[in-house]
Amino acid sequence: MSVHVIDEANRCLQCGKPRCRENGCPIHTNIPEMIRLFKENRMMEAAEMLFANNPLSMVCSLVCNHENQCEGACVRGLKGESIHISSIENYISDSCFERLELKPAPPKGIKAAVIGAGPAGITIAIILALKGYSITVFETHDKIGGILRYGIPEFRLPKSILDRYYKKMRELGIKFRPNFSIGGSTSIQDLLNDGYKSVFIGTGAWRPRKLGIPGETFGNVFYAINYLNNPDVYDLGDKVAIIGAGNAAMDVARTAIRHGAKEVVVYVRGDEVSASKTEFEYAKVDGVKFEYRKAIVRIEDEGAVFCDMVPDEERMAELNIQQSEAGKIPLKVLPETEHLIPADSIMIAISQVPQDRLVNRDKELKLNEKGNLATNDSGETTLPGVFASGDVVTGAKTVVAAVAVSKRIAEDMDRFMSGGESN
């Protein structure tokens, strides 16, 4: 532990209106109650409360953007350092996980299918299993976790945590079909025909978003989501250029350094990275370099060609923006500054979008205007009895956001399968 969790717990003010819970946490974890129980040596009760509210509490305590959520909202941070809420939550969830006694409701004799064992799928499967449904999870990969296992580096989220979740899910009676893709030989309609009362789609967003520039198909170009899936099979060379500045870009940069790259540079279009402050700081500590106001225009065998970007003074005048307002200044590309920056590999990390395999196989499923799976307010797709949430609906978002929405959809699926109507 980087901090002493007992000391951190003792700093909690037990606010009457906890900003950490109401304003900071997307899933509204009862943080003051968690800390109170912990301080009263009632840690198992705290762990049970955390799991009931967020089955992926242990995961979220490691990968959430805490500085912009619970810890960023902590009242202690107004005049000093916020409480390290994430460390306390992780200590409790990690220490008690195996001792959690999950007691499912009596079996309902109703089957439900979950397609995809990522954050949304794991959440849905656990909640519905606890309600007494017979759950089968269909997963394309050989192990559960989805983006948690195949898109987040080991140094940020140990894969052993996901193995522990698999064991806990098996204890709940959840069945798994690994290395099996729905949308190929088997369709969603096949599942419904076989008696599954409802189907949940949580297949995530695995198709990398393209830059749409010349040279993107060259052999020295890779996509972040593919690289993070299995970095051991890539030979990136000594010098790596990374396009994109979010958390995925930081993950790729730090992973490349750990795999032997001698110079890793992140090229940022603006003046600031979009990654969390913590991930940005860790990347710098690991030796990642950053170049700002760079717009990539094409890729060549020797590297990437960029143009410099400068403040767009006309646009600034229209918006009444001052030069001193960092991060808000609109920029424009200067074509005359085009220059080649040598690199052995170019890594594209500008997010990803859902695959379209299921839509192509089951024509009743429709996409929304953003190209994601279309759902109504209850998470039901255009195919009756089929629900969806997570990145396949929203595009690439956070883990806790997927869990928060999936909790609500699990209730809607319960109502649907029990004969009621979803809200």
- Are residue 229 and residue 197 in the same domain, yes or no? no
Select from 348, 370, 401 the last residue of a domain.
Answer: 348
Residue type at 359?
A: V
249 lies in the same domain as 324:
yes
- Which pLDDT value is given to residue 323? 65
Contact 56, 45 (CB under 8 A): no
In terms of phi and psi (left: phi > 0; alpha: psi -120 to 50; beta: otherwise), the region of 215 is left
> Tell me: the pLDDT tens digits for 219-233?
999 999 999 999 999
Q: Which residues contact 280 (CB under 8 A, 6 or more apart)?
A: 250, 273
Strands (E), 80-180: 111-115, 134-138, 175-177
Selection from 412, 400, 409, 413 nearest residue 55 by Cα: 400
Q: Is residue 177 part of a domain?
A: yes
| pLDDT tens-digit series, residues 159-196 | 999 999 999 999 999 999 999 988 878 899 999 999 99
Q: Which of 333, 348, 363 is the last residue of a domain?
A: 348
Task: State which residues form the domain around 319.
Answer: 209-348
CATH of the domain at 413: 3.50.50.60
Same domain? For 42 and 132 the reply is no
Which has more confidence, 256 or 361?
A: 256
Res 415 pLDDT > 90: yes
* pLDDT tens digits along 295-333: 999 999 999 999 999 998 888 888 887 766 656 788 999
Confidence check: pLDDT of 1 > 50: no
**Is the model's pLDDT at 423 over the cut of 50?**
no
Please identify, among 73, 99, 125, the residue that sits at the C-terminal boundary of a domain. Answer: 99
Q: Same domain, yes or no, for 180 and 165?
A: yes
CATH code, domain with 29:
1.10.1060.10
Which of 135-144, 164-173, 269-278, 351-360 has the lowest average pLDDT? 351-360
Residue 360 domain flag: yes
Number of domains present in the structure of the chain: 3
Residue 257 pLDDT greater than 60, yes or no: yes
Question: Tens of pLDDT along 26-59?
Answer: 999 999 999 999 999 999 999 999 999 999 999 9
- Most confident option among 199-203, 301-305, 329-333, 367-371: 301-305
Whole-model pTM? 0.89
Residue 10 inside a domain? The answer is yes
Same domain, 216 and 323: yes
One-letter identity of residue 286: D
